[in-house]
Structure 1
């Protein structure tokens, strides 16, 4: 029975993989056509009038960046970078931009001999920015469209049926179950417990049996994928492997280090014994130099670009309430050193003195995360600035001064250090940032200090320029959603 169903199960997996690749190819070709059309519009809009010097430097010629060879190179580059792989690889910013960088380089390298290095470098950056943004936008929209169509009965296709192996009471298994249910792309059939289940799980799904009954469970339940999220012994692993191989079912195992998202396990052999070495990428000396150079460039260009906006905000603050435009507050930075963090003033003068009286309104219940919705101390202009996070913009001056970074852990107050436990000090291992993993993960809606520390330490341990870029790109959508902003 299971063997007869195996061919159908394997065929369904192959069809899903092929459909995903085909949809991604279509989305990427559409992204290329969008960029090509935009380039055509810029070029043809100047038919009667020659391109000025600035436009000639910014817009690549149609034959180089807009030709069909660029479309082919884009697909090849993304394929080499692994941007068509299964799992979350096709959503990876690093893989997508690596593929685009390679694709544009493949097309424009010959132009170095024809047009010189300066215009080609400008055109290279322009093409990478346009194609990268187009591919990311189309893939984001494709992901959202598929998720919505699956929830509509008229478009409902056979969902991938998943069975979880583990205890429904295991926190790791509960996280996996909630994550799968949140996206709704996979259908959780039920659970198989490592031991004999006494009662059906409450609110976590149906318990189908134990691992020892796995053959029978698979025979009576149409399953495409088995997810091992709990702990099983060697005999149960052997039984699990035999059953899934015979039935053509895909087996996924959840890493036991999933709560330490920065840990990179790699298999090694030592004295004829097999081990899993756990390595941790983190901010080292040379990486800090690179990060500092990016901060100086980003903050400098950012201040130049938004200087008119800063002027308008300053005028609005002065017209709205008495007091200074800026508000400097002492915070703790890297290594526990204190510094004056700059912000636009969003509260009335003397608001700090009223903090103790309003402590009972703190929604987090933790003095280290002092958050009050509809804070009575906030001015009218201040409420708008906070809603759109515009009050944080003066911190670009802190970045130029080397006290902060564009991306990093959020700086806290020196008085909070007295309540820190040993593992909390890990978040002081990098320059504090204007934005960070905590901010793009929920901002003020995250009210658990331990979760804030976990996200900050995860950022430090996982740091890379790609992670900084990802957080910066996620910051704007987080600001526009205004989730947890007050």
Structure 2
């Protein structure tokens, strides 16, 4: 058999391509620099606060103050630089999704403070570090870094929504039209080229990808034995992101650690000791956030209730039976946005359903909506009473959206997997297109991905993205 011709002129396929200044100052690297600046500013603010609180107590030992800059001692700048390096080694300045790991950032900042204690003891066991300064700086650093990263997330996502992402699509002939239609429904994606999956590893395909100048490659049904050795590494050399679409209903995104087992390449699924604690933290966060939200939003809730009463006859709230955890039904609360006979009228309007598979009932201009109700739906204010459902333990802030009995009765068997977790006010479905999603299979796959990859960090990311979407009213009607 003739050896495979390499397009990399004899180099190891994993070797990086020659340095390019244009690539170094690219859009992605600018994100990393912004995050680095955000973390440094957070640490500066934290230490400024700590010194403010510590001014009446024990001062910093003079042997730790070699010089000062911007009113902060040399110890801070060395320590802050060390934290930035630790965060970088932890992948938290990666231009892709790793930097959104807020909780990991908080853990690494805390680890840095613990390590500083160990190092200071080794340096001088008799060194008396001011406790008030140390612990105030520690708590403030964790809190401000987390808060600033959430803010940067919103900022970068706002910028991303205004910029176009070019996509090169690789798939089979029968899947090409479906994937192209899905991408074209999202206004910030532009398809610049396509290729068949059978040609994914051909040099000509790579040449086409590079010629288009695409930012990302979306691949489906690739030849599995060739993927790691060819396409992925070639794209990586040129700084192009590869996205893979799962090839079946069974989600292929299982979290795991690559490991050789009995001479077989496998992914070992990790079971963490804090798994149960993480879920309890989710529930505590739900209760506290819902309670605080209801208290802070009480004036708005009262104003909306009065407005509904003044603009249309009927009750303020709309209570509907929804299917929740393990298929059990519960009453979900919303502000009423339709006339009082809306549910009875729906049966007569089924023929006007704009959803292609008929599982969900969607109409962009539903005649049953009141004028004020359209505003409530556009702003998602009608969903706020569900904070009471969260307090009652029937819902979470984040999870698969609970659907009416009418919709669930039309489910395929695999759709019911979404009922294995507590439903939520918002979720991946809502932040990934909401009403723009074409059929329920697409929404269900998002729910399964959420279940399969759930973490507290993912919940935080979904909540931040929900705030951005609600502010712009995108996809809601």
Displacement of 1:218 after TM fit? Answer: 7.6
C-alpha deviation, 1:410, in angstroms: 0.8
Match of residue 291, structure 1, among 266, 270, 282:
282
Matched-pair contact (CA < 8 Å) for 2:390–2:396: yes
- Residue 345 (structure 1) shift: 1.1
Quick one: structure 1 residues 69 and 238, their matched pair in 2 at CA, closer, same or farther if it must change by over 3 Å? closer
SS of residue in 1 equivalent to 2:294: helix
Corresponding residue for 1:276? 266
Distance 1:25 1:455, change over 3 A: closer
In the alignment, the residues of structure 1 paired with residue 138 and residue 283 of structure 2 have an alpha-carbon distance, to the nearest angstrom, of 23
Q: Quote the residue 2:337 is aligned against.
A: 346
Partner of 1:484: 475
Q: Give the distance between the partners of 2:253 and 2:449, measured in 1 at CA.
A: 6
CA contact (8 A) 2:434 2:476 kept: yes
1:27 has 2:44 as partner: no
Q: Indicate the SS of the match to 1:83.
A: coil
Structure 2 unaligned spans of 5+? 1-5, 53-69, 118-127
Aligned to 2:459: 468
Deviations along 1:410-465, one digit per CA (max 9) or x if unpaired, are 11122444333221210110111000111111112224111122111221121111
> 1:164: how far off?
8.0
Among candidates 108, 122, 132, match of residue 102 of structure 1: 108
Residues 175, 75 of structure 1: CA spacing in aligned structure 2 closer, same or farther, 3 A cutoff?
farther
Deviation track 1:161-217 (CA, whole Å, cap 9, x = no partner) reads x998875555599679969x98789975x747747xxxxxxxxxxxxxx96xx5688
372 and 338 in structure 1: CA distance in 2 versus 1, 3 angstrom threshold: same
2:132 corresponds in structure 1 to 115
Give the match for residue 346 of structure 2. Answer: 355
**Change in CA separation of 1:216 and 1:175 when aligned onto 2, cut-off 3 Å:** closer
1:452 aligns to what?
Answer: 443
Residue-by-residue CA offset, 1:447-484 (whole Å, 9 max, x unaligned): 41111221112211211111111111110122123222
TM-score calculated relative to the size of structure 1:
0.69
SS in 2 for 1:331: strand
Q: 2:100 matched to which residue of 1?
A: 93
Q: Secondary structure at 1:131's aligned position in 2?
A: helix
Q: Does 1:378 align with 2:378?
A: no
Match of residue 154 from structure 1: none
Rate the CA distance shift 1:105–1:301 in 2: closer, same or farther, 3 A: farther
SS of match in other structure, 1:355: helix
C-alpha spacing 1:238/1:380, structure 2 compared with 1 (3 Å): closer
Aligned to 2:320: 329
8 Å Cα contact 1:445-1:484 kept in structure 2 = yes
Equivalence for 2:380 = 389
Q: How far off its partner does 1:323 sit?
A: 1.7
Q: Deviations over 1:79-131 (max 9, x none)?
A: 02212346x245x411x553355347646977994327985575245422443
How many Å apart are 1:42 and its aligned residue?
10
Q: What is the aligned counterpart of 1:401 among 381, 385, 392?
A: 392
Deviations 1:126-172 (A, max 9, x none): 42244324543565577678x56x99xxxxxxxxxx99887555559
Do the aligned partners of 1:321 and 1:379 also contact (CA within 8 Å) in 2? yes
> Which gives a bigger RCO, structure 1 or 2 (Cα 8 Å, sep 6+)?
2
Pair 1:408–1:121, CA change in 2 (3 A): same
Partner-residue secondary structure (3-state), 2:144 = helix
Q: Which residue of 1 aligns with 2:92?
A: 83
Q: Aligned pair in 2 of structure 1 residues 287, 414: CA closer, same or farther (>3 Å)?
A: farther
Residues 167, 230 of structure 1: 8 Å contact kept: yes
Which ranges of structure 1 fall in alignment gaps of 5 or more residues? 47-60, 152-161, 196-209
SS in 1 for 2:333: strand
Cross-structure match for 1:49 = none
Instruction: Provide the C-alpha distance between the structure 2 equivalents of 1:375 and 1:437, rounded to a whole number of angstroms.
Output: 25
Q: Which residue matches 2:144?
A: 127
Q: Deviations over 1:280-321 (max 9, x none)?
A: 989976554332222112211211221121111111111112
Aligned length: 431
Q: Identify which range, 385-394 or 72-81, moves more after superposition.
A: 72-81
Asked if the contact 2:400–2:447 (Cα under 8 Å) also holds between the matched residues in 1, the reply is yes
Aligned-partner Cα distance in 2 for 1:481–1:132 = 21
Q: Answer whether contact 1:25 1:75 (CA < 8 A) is retained.
A: no
Asked if the contact 1:263/1:280 (under 8 Å) is kept, the reply is no
The whole-number CA distance in structure 1 between the counterparts of 2:33 and 2:240 is 29
Q: Map residues 15-414 of structure 1 onto 2, 5 A cutoff.
A: 15=21, 18-19=24-25, 23-24=30-31, 26-31=33-38, 63=72, 68=77, 72-73=81-82, 75-85=84-94, 88-89=96-97, 92-94=99-101, 98-99=104-105, 102-103=108-109, 106=112, 113-115=130-132, 123-133=140-150, 135-136=152-153, 139-140=156-157, 171=176, 191=195, 194=198, 214=202, 231-232=222-223, 257=246, 260=251, 262-264=253-255, 266-272=257-263, 274-277=264-267, 279=269, 287-414=278-405
Tell me if the contact between 2:221 and 2:247 (Cα under 8 Å) persists in the aligned partners. Answer: no
Q: CA RMSD in A?
A: 5.0
* Kept after mapping to 1: 8 A contact 2:169/2:191: no
